[in-house]
């Protein structure tokens, strides 16, 4: 017997179906609520509302569980390559050797971008934020591949778009960095791995033979995996809703990049470093800043703290915190900001305000420390998040298209003026 929920409205009782997910999560299916009752539900920020069923990522906020297609993030971060994880998210299974070679070769063969895009880079102000460049560049790819604008194109063409995106995003990201620094761009090298190639395009110079440090390449691989998907977060939901109008995949991903840029979302990794530097330059009085974060009259928030879903700990933050220590140790580097970050975490987690609200370090709290150690400039941190999150966005978009989800169009409760007649301007007060 299927489970139901009963509600009583205006003296009438209604039954709504309850659905249960593969991990025991339960939802009341309200898809027929308005037709049955005339009522809608209201849930600002969708804190209690599921937008879809999905088989891609499972996370349990209370237990700090995160799995991609059933595989624990801890195992994937330790043992897999980023392209393996990208394949897993997009095609739902870990690739065998033949599949991984095919996927890797396809990505490798599409890392170049059209030379005409060089003119776009030159048109941006030299101090442009790379996220603004990247969202523009990714959307403009739809004009270089106009066939991608056809919502009814065969899957083989869609697959080519998917591979082009994964191949070209690092190239465009590195070109944005080089252009902003007035450096000559470095073209991709097909004999390098995905992360090695990105580091080569970022830090290589025509005049020198840049050797990728395996410590840095391995750390980057782990970071990209940890950022690869996170179910219906703000940017993934943005990609889904833009894609639900049958806008092309390049434009949907561009919208996801724009959403990720926000400091409450992926932009937090840049904001964390800026916050730690402010605290350091202010004399390092941690309690002062924790108190500011608690003060409702103060707009300051502890960046990198808190999460919509994780209310005990973000499993990614635990892995990244350890990786930050390892990377700094292996590179023989010392970053005063990591000490401030750890002390800040300790002070905050002894404070009832944070503990009561389930505010713990999230994925962004320590990631900037590693990016700094890898030589990535602060305004490129969210770009790194986007490179990692791209396969997740693609997987979410692909699942939405394959499920035939309808165009996203929420309802509202109107609270404005009631009906009134037009008054000519010379008769208005």
Where does this chain bind ligand SDX (CB under 6 A)?
45, 230, 233, 264-266, 268, 293, 301-308, 357, 359, 362-364
Show Cβ contacts of residue 190 under 8 Å, excluding neighbours closer than 6 positions: 108, 109, 111
Q: How far apart are CA 95 and CA 85, in angstroms?
A: 9
Contacts of 103 (CB under 8 A, 6+ apart): 83, 86, 87, 95, 163
Known catalytic residue at 230: no
Cα angle for residues 182, 185, 189 (degrees, 5° grid) = 160
Are 312 and 373 in contact, with CB atoms under 8 Å apart? no
The CA distance from 251 to 255, in Å, is 6
Q: Which residues pair with 60 in a beta bridge?
A: 65
Is 186 or 324 the residue whose CB approaches ligand SDX more closely?
Answer: 324
- Please identify which of the residues 163, 227, 307, 335 carries the catalytic annotation: 307
**Residues 6 or more apart from 388 whose CB is under 8 A from it?**
82, 223, 224, 225, 226, 227, 228
Nearest residue (CB) to ligand SDX, 265 versus 330: 265
Burial class (CB in 10 A: 0-12, 13-18, 19+), 96: exposed
The strand pairing partners of 72, in sequence order, are 67
CB of 93 to ligand SDX, least distance (A): 23
Element (H or E) spanning 9, and its range? strand 4-9
Nearer to ligand SDX, 166 or 363 (CB): 363
When the beta carbons of 73 and 167 are compared against ligand SDX, the nearer one is 73
User: Is 307 considered catalytic here?
Assistant: yes
Q: CB of residue 342 vs ligand SDX: minimum separation in angstroms?
A: 17
Q: State the nearest-atom distance from the C-beta of 23 to ligand SDX, in Å.
A: 17
**300 DSSP 8-state letter:** -
Among residues 364, 379, 405, 421, the one annotated as catalytic is 364
User: What span, in angstroms and rounded, lies between the C-alpha atoms of 262 and 284?
Assistant: 26
> CA 243 to CA 407: how far, in whole Å?
8
Residue with smaller CB distance to ligand SDX, 129 or 389 = 389
What's the rounded Cα separation, in Å, for the pair 208 and 186?
11
104, two tokens: 């890797």
Q: 4-9 and 65-68 as β-strands: parallel, antiparallel, unpaired?
A: unpaired
The CB-of-268 to ligand SDX minimum distance in angstroms stands at 3
Q: How far is the CB of 133 from ligand SDX (least distance, A)?
A: 21
Calpha distance 209→217 (Å, rounded)? 16
- Minimum distance from CB of 236 to ligand SDX (Å)? 7
| Closest CB to ligand SDX among residues 39, 300 | 300
Residue 88's SS3 state is: helix
Nearer to ligand SDX, 308 or 330 (CB): 308
Which residues carry out catalysis? 307, 364
């Amino acid at each position: 017997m299927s489970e139901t929920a009963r509600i009583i409205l205006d003296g009438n009782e209604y039954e709504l179906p309850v659905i249960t997910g593969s991990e025991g999560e339960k939802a009341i299916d309200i898809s027929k609520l308005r037709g049955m009752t005339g009522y809608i539900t209201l849930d600002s920020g969708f804190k209690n509302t599921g937008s879809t069923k999905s088989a891609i990522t499972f996370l349990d906020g209370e237990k700090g569980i995160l799995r991609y297609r059933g595989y624990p993030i801890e195992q994937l971060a330790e043992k897999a390559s980023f392209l393996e994880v990208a394949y897993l998210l997009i095609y739902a299974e870990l690739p065998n050797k033949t599949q991984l070679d095919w996927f890797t070769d396809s990505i490798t063969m599409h890392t170049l971008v059209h030379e005409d895009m060089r003119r776009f880079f030159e048109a941006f102000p030299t101090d442009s934020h790379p996220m603004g460049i990247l969202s523009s560049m990714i959307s403009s790819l739809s004009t270089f591949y106009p066939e991608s604008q056809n919502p009814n194109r065969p899957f083989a063409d869609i697959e080519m778009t998917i591979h082009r995106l994964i191949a070209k995003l690092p190239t465009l990201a590195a070109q944005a960095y080089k252009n902003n620094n007035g450096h000559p761009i470095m073209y991709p090298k097909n004999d390098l791995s995905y992360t090695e190639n990105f580091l080569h395009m970022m830090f290589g110079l025509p005049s020198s033979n840049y050797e990728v440090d395996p410590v840095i390449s391995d750390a980057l691989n782990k970071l990209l995996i940890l950022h690869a998907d996170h179910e219906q977060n703000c940017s993934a939901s943005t990609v889904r809703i833009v894609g639900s109008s049958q806008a092309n995949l390049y434009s949907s991903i561009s919208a996801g990049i724009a959403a990720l840029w926000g400091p409450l979302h992926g932009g937090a990794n840049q904001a964390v470093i800026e916050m730690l530097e402010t605290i350091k330059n202010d004399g390092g009085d941690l309690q002062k800043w924790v108190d500011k974060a608690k003060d409702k009259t103060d707009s300051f928030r502890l960046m990198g703290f808190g999460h919509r879903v994780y209310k005990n700990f973000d499993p990614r933050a635990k892995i990244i915190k350890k990786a930050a220590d390892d990377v700094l140790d292996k590179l023989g580097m010392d970053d005063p900001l990591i000490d401030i970050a750890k002390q800040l975490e300790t002070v905050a987690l002894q404070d009832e305000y944070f503990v009561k609200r389930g505010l713990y370090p999230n994925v962004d709290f320590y990631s900037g420390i590693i990016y700094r150690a890898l030589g990535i400039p602060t305004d490129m941190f969210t770009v790194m998040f986007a490179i990692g999150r791209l396969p997740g966005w693609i997987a979410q978009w692909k699942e939405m298209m394959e499920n035939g989800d309808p165009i996203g169009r929420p309802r509202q409760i109107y609270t404005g003026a009631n009906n009134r007649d037009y008054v000519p301007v010379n008769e208005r007060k």
